[in-house]
Each structure stands twice: as C-alpha cells, then as structure tokens.
Structure 1
Amino acid sequence: MTPILWRRGRAGDEAALAVLGGATFLAAFAHDHPGRALIDHIRAAHGEEHYRAALADPAQTVIIGETPLGAPVAYAVMTPPDLPVPVDPQADIELKRIYLLSGWQGGGNGDALMEQVVDVARAAGKKRLLLAVYTANDRARRFYARHGFAEIGETTFMVGDAPFRDLVYARPL
C-alpha cells in the first residue's frame, strides 16, 4: 500500500478537500441516503468555500493525508464543539470529520490519522475529544470504540432535507 504523508491543511488546499470530502461522504453514505439530499449536502458542506473558510479559521484544524505524489486520500477536521451535550469550550474539541478513501482504509492508516488528531488536541491543551457518528455506521462505531470513545448522547444530522440519528461520543485525552 502506498504510504500516507500527514500534514496540516493550509490555504490552497480547499479544492483538494472539496473533492476528497465529497468523494468520501458519497462513498460512506450512498447506500442509505436519498440521492438528492446527499448531493445537496455535499454541495453545501463540502464545497471549496466551506473548506476555504475552515482553513482560514484559527479555531479549526485540518489534517490532510497525501500519497508521496501529493494526491489527497485522507483528512480530519477539528472544530470548537457544536454538539447537544454539555461541553467546556476550554477543555473540549470536536472531531467534525475523519475520512479515508477506501483504498487506504485498513493497514493502520485510520489509527495513524486518529493519532494525528489526538496529538493536535493535546497540543492545544484539550482534555476531551467529541464526535458524532451515524447510528448505522457500524464500522466507524467499532473504530471509535477501539480508540476509547463512549456514547454520551445523540443528535440529529441533516443531509439536505433528510434527518439522520447520530450518536455523540467522547473520549478523554
């Protein structure tokens, strides 16, 4: 398997993130999300403008994984917490997105990306990592459990005009 090189996202990465974000979201959820809602969500939440704003926001961190030739294959986005559970903005950080293209899943790449996330959170002085995960995404839920996450609540995640039940997970850092 081609190795992944990890780095922080920066201005100019928005096009790569938009392509990668749309591709990974579509691959992860096309099997049970309505097509029009899925496309609307990807256009709004994974467009270049969205990632341009995220990369310019000092409160957000983007981690990108690339092949040695510079092709984006993995990413994570960390933000201030925005979940319907009690949070401490000084101590908590939300893992808003974490995705790898299917060809790079397995072999420890997800673990390596999670390690990058944890390192960034700890370096920022955070004490707890939060995330929301789709209830039907069993593979992701097993991955998070392996990394010390436990369910602490639930939320509704809108994909276009379609609501989906997500679980809120947390893990201490």
Structure 2
Amino acid sequence: MTPIRWRGAVAGDAQALSILGGATFLASFAHDHPGDALLAHVRSAHSESFYQAAIADPSQLLLIGETPLSAPVGYAMLTPPDLPVDCDGRHDVEVKRFYLLGGWQGGGHADMLMDLLAAESRNRGARRMLLAVYPQNERARRFYARHGFEEIGETVFMVGETPFRDLVYARNL
C-alpha cells in the first residue's frame, strides 16, 4: 500500500483540504443524505475560507496526509470541544474531522493518524478526546471502539434543514 506522510497543515493547504473535505464527506454520506442539502453543506463547511480560518486558529490542528507525490488523501481536525456533553475545555479536545479517501482506508493509515492525534492531544494537556460519529457508520464505530472510544451521549448534525443523529464518543488519554 502507498505510504502516507502526515504533517500539520499550513495556509497553502486550504484548497487541497477543501477539495479533500468535500470529496470524503460526499463519499461518506451521499448514500442517505439529500443531494441539494449535501452539496450546500459541502460548499459551506468545506470551503477554502473555512480551512484557512481553521489553519490560522492556534486552538485548532489540521493534519493532512499525502502520498509520496504530495497528493492529499486524508486529513483530521482537532479542536476545542463543541459537543452537548459535559466537557472541560482545558482537558478535553474534539476530533472534529477524521477522513481518508477509500483507496487509503485499511493498511494501518487510520491507526497511525489516530495515534498522532492522541499524541498531539496529550501535548496540548488534554486528558480526553471526544468525537461525534454517525450511528449508521459501523466501520467508523468499530474503528473508534478499537481505539478506546466509548459512547457517552448524542448530538444532532444538521445538513441543510435535515437533522441527523450522531453519537458522541470519548476516549481517556
């Protein structure tokens, strides 16, 4: 399998992250999300300006994964927690996004990315990682369980006017 090089995203990565974010979101949710709302969500939540602002914010971390030829194939986002569960902003972090293109799923790439996020979380003084996951995404739920995440609540994720139920998971560090 082609290796992935993980690194912190920089300002010049906003366009690549926008394209990658939109592509992975569509690949993950097009099967059961309404098309117009899905596309509108991708245009706003995965815009270049969104990623430029996130990269510039020192409270957030974006990791981008690239092939040896510098093609973007995965990314993850670590942010202050913004979930409807009991959180401690000083000791909790949220894995806001965690995606790999289909051809790079499996082979340990996601494991490596999760290990990098856990190490960075510890470096930031976090004691717990939080994330939201779509209940119908069994593969992701199994992956997170393998990495010590447990369900602690739920939230609603809006795509346009359509609400989707997400599960909130936590992992102690």
After TM superposition, give the deviation of residue 32 of structure 1 in Å: 0.6
Alignment correspondent of 1:11? 11
Alignment correspondent of 2:20? 20
After TM superposition, give the deviation of residue 161 of structure 1 in Å: 1.7
Alignment correspondent of 2:34? 34
* Superposed structure 1 runs of 4+ greater than 6 Å apart: none
Alignment correspondent of 2:139? 139
- Kindly, what percent of the aligned residue pairs are identical? 66
Alignment correspondent of 1:45? 45
After TM superposition, give the deviation of residue 24 of structure 1 in Å: 0.3
Letter in 2 for 1:15: Q
How many residue pairs match? The answer is: 173
Distance 1:23 1:73 in 2: 10
Name the SS for the 2:85 alignment partner: coil
Tell me the TM-score normalized by structure 2. 0.99
Q: Which runs of 5+ in 2 are unaligned?
A: none
After TM superposition, give the deviation of residue 2 of structure 1 in Å: 1.1
Tell me the TM-score normalized by structure 1. 0.99
After TM superposition, give the deviation of residue 135 of structure 1 in Å: 1.0
Matched, 1:101 2:86: no
Alignment correspondent of 1:67? 67
Alignment correspondent of 2:165? 165
Q: 5 Å matches for 1:51-130?
A: 51-130=51-130
Q: Which runs of 5+ in 1 are unaligned?
A: none
After TM superposition, give the deviation of residue 159 of structure 1 in Å: 1.1
Deviations 1:19-50 (A, max 9, x none): 00000000000111110111011001001000
Letter in 2 for 1:106: G
Distance 2:47 2:97 in 1: 14
Deviations 1:101-159 (A, max 9, x none): 00000010110110111111011110000000011111110110000000000000011
Name the SS for the 1:158 alignment partner: strand
After TM superposition, give the deviation of residue 170 of structure 1 in Å: 0.1
Distance 1:159 1:59 in 2: 25
